[in-house]
Every structure is written in C-alpha cells, then in structure tokens.
Amino acid sequence: MSDSPHPIDLLLEPRWLVPVEPHGVVLEDHAVAVDGERIVAVLPAAEARARYAPRERVMLSEHALIPGLVNAHVHNPMTLMRGIADDLPLMRWLQEHIWPAEAKAIGPEFVRDGIELAVAEMLRGGTTCCNENYFFPDVQAATYRRLGFRAMIGLPVIEFPSAWAKTRDEYFDRALAVHDEFKGEPLLGTAWAPHAPYTVADESFERIRVLSDQLDLPVHLHLHETAQEVEDAKRERGARPFARMQALGLVNDHLIAVHMTQLIDAEIAACAEAGVSVVHCPESNLKLASGFCPVEKLRRAGVTVAIGTDGVASNNDLDMFGELRTAAMLAKAVAGDAAAFDAAGVLRAATLNGAKALGWEARIGSIEAGKLADLAAVRLDAIETQPLYNVISQLVYATGRQQVSDVWIAGRRKLRERVAVDLDLQEIGAKARRWRERLAG
C-alpha cells in the first residue's frame, strides 16, 4: 500500500481562509485542495502538503481566500450605458432615457459586447457568478459560456414588443427554446425573468408559474421597487403587487424578489413562510431614491437575503465589495441598530445566500469539499487594510475591489495577479468606446 502523495490539479495556501460555512469562521494555516473543477479537501496546510502532490501550488501569503462573490441581480449588457442618464428617478430614467437608448442599440452585438465588458469588471472585483436579466438570452448564454463565467440566464417576459420578441407567445416560445438549448451546460442555468408587475399581465404570470413548477426554474422578478409602483397598483388594481403575486401563486420558493423596498410586516412573514429569496441592491436603490429594503427585518424573519449591484446604468458599477459596505451600513441606519447585518452576515449574503437564491447552494457559495472551486483571493497587506484585527470586518468595511488578486471559476484560473487570463481588455475597451459614440450620437 502506497503512502505517496495523491496527485491533484491545484493546492491553494492562503494566509486566511474564509469558508463562509461554518458561519463567521476564519481559518489560518489551512489549504484548499482542488482537482478538476471541484474542491476535494479543506485541511491544515501541513497535512495538505503531505497528502497531495499538486500540479500547481499557489502561495497566497498576504491574502484572504473567499468564495467567489455572487452578484444576484444584474443587467450586464447595460454596462455599455454606464453614466448615460444619471440623477433621475426610476420611471423618468426608464421611460425617457433607458428604453429609447435601448431601442436604438439593442441587438445581439450590444448584448455580447456589454457582457464582455461586465465579465472583465466582475472578475477584477472577485465576482464569479451573476443572475442575469436582459433580452437576447441566447446571446447571453453563448457569451457567458465562451468566457467561462457562471451565470443564471433570465428568460425575459414583458408585454410590449422588443427586438427579441414581438408577442407574448413569441416571448414564451423563444424562452423555452433557449432553455432547451443550454440545458445541462455546467456553468449556466435558466430562470424566468418577467420584468415587473406593472409590465407583465396576469396571463403571462400564470403561464410562468406553471412552467416554473414543471421545469423547476426560479422566477427572477423586480418587485416592490418603489412606493409609486405600490401606489399605482393599489389605485389601478385595488391590491399591492405582492398580494397580486400571492393570488397568482408566485410567492413560493422559486421566487427571487429583487429590491423589495416597500414591505409591510405581513409580507415579510409571508416571504419567510414561502421560502422567497430577496435580492437587496442598496446602491442602485439609493441612487434612484427608490427606498430602503428592510434587510434586518427580513434576516431576522428567516428570509434568505442576497446582494446584487443591479445594472451599471443605475449604479454605476459592478463592485460587490462596495455593495457589501453600503449594504451593511444602510441596514444599520434603516434598523436603527449598529449591530444589524453584521460583517459575517453581509459576506454570507454575497456568497452562500446568493447561491441559495439561485438554487445552487449545493454547488457554490462556500469553500467546502465537494463544491465547485469558485474562489477569489484578496490581498490584505495594503496600507488601506492595515492594521488587521478582524479579517471578515476588514473585507466588508475597508477592502476595495482593486485588492482582488486572483480568481478561479470551476477550478480554472480567470485572474492572475490582477491580470485577466483569457480576456483582451484593450479590445473590450475599444468596443465600449465605439458603443459610446453610437449611443451618444
């Protein structure tokens, strides 16, 4: 019987390991063994060196190794609209600027180039997975697959014609075709993405509920984003949008409810009972003055709270580290409690809870044996993060995305010492500038 070390692909030895599960734990002098796309062991570094013969060994002597961040709500093609219509409320922003700009530009090339720009930005900020919500999901899926980036692809449904589909039936037919085409792709999943209660009819929601149940797909929905949305619904339909979703059978464990700034206690309790996931987009909500998601109330009720940036057109970045800090501080102000939404809880929201919202918590979101190796290394030796007393607090309150040094998705290196491994950043930047000329013209 041989006691020789077992060959594996990769051994990572960080100064600090933040697995997220167990909650709030920071391990020192530990290693992560990766073979193929999966983590095979998390163990003391000395034991790892004796047990394994890695093809590549990466020493991360001043780094924290964390799960790759999960951006649970994005419109990534809109990265090409960064700064196009700032300092406006949601409906004016949408109706007078964003929708007209999209009408001029939207198409497969816009979607592809916007996602390329977004993936470059996300990787450089430690994000390894996103929950996408836009048109041309076929192009989205093909682009994410080509770039080796993990994504849940939204299947759009809206009641007005677009460049993607003209009629309700066409939206559904094309959505199902995309689902079938990309089913089984290791880095991809699909979700229904009806835009919002004010742009989607009951008949469409009913079809989505049936198909969500049949295909076991999440439903990714903007819900209770603004007070105006709620007041308009009460005036026009005699019910709050959440109550309408309840009546239509959509308040269940497939629902990913985005924004949720306008909630009463009964709705929070209903979310907890039904297993709804809520995606908090603090910076976009602040910029559009949409309201404040009651994160601490949701968390205390047992609701899964994830974090998203929303689209770059309303943020104006895909910086999840910035989002962590804003989410933590905003939650404290809203709750009137300095202990609300603590650092470990916020990091969990941006990793394991995001994975849970997508139905992927068994695959990603924490550093555990058997999970896919979606990982990010963050340097903590910068002047801006010294001295260091508490690693998790430092990650949430003091760390900038520029401190992300290395990223892996499914065991494959995507960022090496701040350099994107398989992206041409010069060409991506040149494409973005060409889109600026076209959209500004």
Structure confidence at residue 2 (pLDDT): 55
Assess whether pLDDT exceeds 80 at residue 22. Answer: yes
Is residue 365 left, alpha or beta, with left meaning phi > 0 and alpha meaning psi from -120 to 50? left
* Contacts of 327-331 spanning 24+ positions with Cβ under 8 A: 327/280, 327/282, 327/295, 328/396, 328/397, 330/282, 330/286, 330/292, 330/295, 331/295, 331/296
Structure confidence at residue 194 (pLDDT): 98
Q: What is the pLDDT of residues 239-282, one digit of tens each?
A: 999 999 999 999 999 999 999 999 999 999 999 999 999 999 99
Structure confidence at residue 440 (pLDDT): 84
* C-beta separation of 357 from 277 below 8 A: yes
Question: Which domains are present in the chain?
Answer: 6-67+372-410 (2.30.40.10), 69-357 (3.20.20.140)
Q: What is the pLDDT of residues 168-183, one digit of tens each?
A: 999 999 999 999 999 9
Mean pLDDT of 101-111: 92
The C-alpha torsion from 287 through 289 and 295 to 297, rounded to 10°, is: 170
Quickly state the pLDDT bin for 441 (edges 50, 70, 90).
low
Query: ∠ at Cα 118 (113, 120), nearest 5°?
Result: 100
* C-beta separation of 341 from 327 below 8 A: yes
Distance CA 241, CA 234 (A): 8
Structure confidence at residue 99 (pLDDT): 86
Assess whether pLDDT exceeds 70 at residue 1. Answer: no
Q: Torsions phi, psi of 328, nearest 5?
A: -65, -45
Quickly state the pLDDT bin for 102 (edges 50, 70, 90).
confident
Assess whether pLDDT exceeds 90 at residue 426. Answer: yes
Structure confidence at residue 251 (pLDDT): 98
Report how far apart the first and last C-alpha atoms of the chain are (Å, whole number): 72
Burial-class residue 20 by CB neighbours within 10 Å (0-12, 13-18, 19+).
buried
Give the helix/strand (H/E) hosting 142. Answer: helix 137-147
| Token code pair at residue 415 | 């960022």
Mean pLDDT of 343-350: 98
Lowest-pLDDT range of 89-103, 181-195, 375-389:
89-103
Structure confidence at residue 169 (pLDDT): 98
- Of the candidates 103, 77, 78, 106, the residue with the CA atom closest to the CA atom of residue 313: 78
Q: What is the pLDDT of residues 317-335, one digit of tens each?
A: 999 999 999 999 999 999 9
| Token code pair at residue 382 | 């910068």
Structure confidence at residue 90 (pLDDT): 84
Structure confidence at residue 103 (pLDDT): 85
Cα radius of gyration rounded to whole Å, the chain: 21
Assess whether pLDDT exceeds 60 at residue 7. Answer: yes
Cα separations in angstroms, 265 against 225, 271, 349, 398: 16, 10, 21, 33
Q: What is the mean pLDDT of the chain?
A: 97
Q: Reduced to 3 states, what is the DSSP secondary structure of residue 309? A: coil
Residue 1: CB atoms within 10 A of its CB come to 2
| Token code pair at residue 209 | 């509920």
Structure confidence at residue 345 (pLDDT): 98
Strand order across the 219-223 sheet: 69-74, 127-132, 150-157, 188-194, 219-223, 255-259, 277-280, 304-307
- Percent of the chain at pLDDT > 90 equals 95
Assess whether pLDDT exceeds 70 at residue 84. Answer: yes
Distance CA 235, CA 175 (A): 32
| Helical ranges in 183-237 per DSSP H | 202-215, 227-237
